Amino acid sequence: MAYKILAINPGSTSTKIAVYTDDKPDFTVSLEHTPEELARFENVVDQFEWRKNLIEQALRERNIDIRTLSAVIGRGGIVSPIESGVYEVNDDLRHDLLHARMQHASNLGGLIAREIADEIGVRSYIADPVVVDEMMPYARISGSPLLPRESVFHALNQKAVARLYSKESGKPYESQNLIVCHMGGGITISAHRRGRVIDTTNALDGCGPFSPERSGSLPPGPLIRLCFSGKYTEDELIKMVHGTGGLYAHLGTTSVPEVLDRILKHDLHAMLILRAMCYTIAKEIGAMSAALKGDVDAILLTGGIAHSKRITDFIADHVDFIAPIYVYPGENELKALAENAFAVLRGDRVPKVYKSEAYDDPSQINDVTKPSKLRDWLLLALNPQKQVGTKPLTAIRQYLRKMSARRREE
């Protein structure tokens, strides 16, 4: 049986759509939106009807009858933290997309998918939204209980690239430890341990390396003083972190090809700043190797910036001692969405049920009257199940054994 999928990926200045029939694209198009068009809407969610109409018009122009669609899948938005996977757009998910805790164009993906699917009587889905959260509990703890670390990253492309590499290497994704680095307008780097992202940088909130348009992690003391200097509004400071930071702040452009062209013309300032960005990327890759305890099968570089061999070579020169490096330039989120939908329709993947949940409050972990996944996880670590055979040495006991052996040799 042939399946036809409509994939929808709303972005800040465009809406990308594609129709696939049995893994092959019938067409792909990017509907560009001007600043003047977007300025008419106070909030992102207000763009819903306008973007939906543009999508339906694009389908009509290409003689696509929506009644022939087997399913509709959209890019996921800023909803509750969830595990990786495909989720049907149920009422809980629709509610959380409508009332998302953060304005983001991706919130519209699931909403538009649900509306179109309901009109023709098929299922609607999202897959691997940016809020995929599989982090280790202690990876969420920062130095202030008011500012926990959150999992927000390019989950869709990272998971797709990780699965592609796993297929090519002949080893299941769930059996490998990978570091995946997505390099685009924002840059996120994640530690994938046996199919789960146990730690990641959060580019949306300004963490990790700086990128073409985002500041990355900043020195907190000077940043706080800047906030109270009276020189900037809150909106200006947020945009400084996410929008006009990174390469744009230093060089006045978010175009990496333009920066590379400047370097070819002997612009040493451009060379310095680009190298600094690559250096921060390499440092975060090193940090994720620590999260994986040094057991890394491969480092995967992906995203638009990965087209530049100059950049990937610079990063590789700093981190190739960790693991072999593989480059997957560009990103194809529409294809990744369609592949997830096909997997569900063919029975290769079971869609998960979305349920709105809040983060566990670490300060309430000792209150046994309230359920806590975090408490269960820590208790399991505190009282591990008895292992059959010889109990493995802990890291400190191994270290002490090495030291005592060295002393005997001396």
- The predicted structure's pLDDT at residue 209: 97
Total number of residues shown for the chain = 410
Q: Are 105 and 12 in contact (CB under 8 A)?
A: yes
Does the predicted model carry a pTM greater than 0.75? yes
Could you give the maximum distance between any two Cα atoms of the chain, in Å? 82
- The predicted structure's pLDDT at residue 358: 65
**What are the backbone dihedrals phi and psi of residue 356, each rounded to the nearest 5 degrees, phi first?**
-70, 120
Same fold across 1-154+332-359 and 155-330: yes
Q: Which residues of the chain have pLDDT under 70?
A: 358-359, 384-410
The DSSP symbol for 175 reads: G
Positive or negative, the CA dihedral 332, 336, 337, 338 is: positive
Q: Are 130 and 152 in contact (CB under 8 A)?
A: yes
**Residue that the structure tokens 């691997």 belong to:** 128
Rg (CA), the chain: 23
- The predicted structure's pLDDT at residue 243: 82
Report which of 325, 250, 255, 331 is spatially closest to residue 285, judged by C-alpha positions. Answer: 325
- The predicted structure's pLDDT at residue 125: 98
* C-alpha to C-alpha distances, 287 to 103, 185, 283, nearest whole angstrom: 30, 21, 6
The fold adopted by the segment(s) 155-330 is Nucleotidyltransferase; domain 5 (3.30.420)
Q: Are 174 and 180 in contact (CB under 8 A)?
A: no
Residues 6+ apart with CB under 8 A from 195: 84, 172, 173, 174
**Angle, CA 274 vertex, CA 273 and CA 279 arms, to 5°:** 95
- The predicted structure's pLDDT at residue 367: 84
Describe the crossing of helices 333-345 and 155-169 by its angle, rounded to 10 degrees: 70
Specify the CATH architecture of the domain 1-154+332-359: 2-Layer Sandwich (3.30)
Residue 63 CA, distance from chain mean position: 34
**Residue that the structure tokens 């202690």 belong to:** 138
- The predicted structure's pLDDT at residue 34: 86
Cα-Cα end-to-end distance for the chain = 73
Q: What is the 3-state secondary structure (H, E, C) of 264-285?
A: HCCCHHHHHHHHHHHHHHHHHH
| Residue-range domain boundaries for the chain | 1-154+332-359, 155-330, 365-409
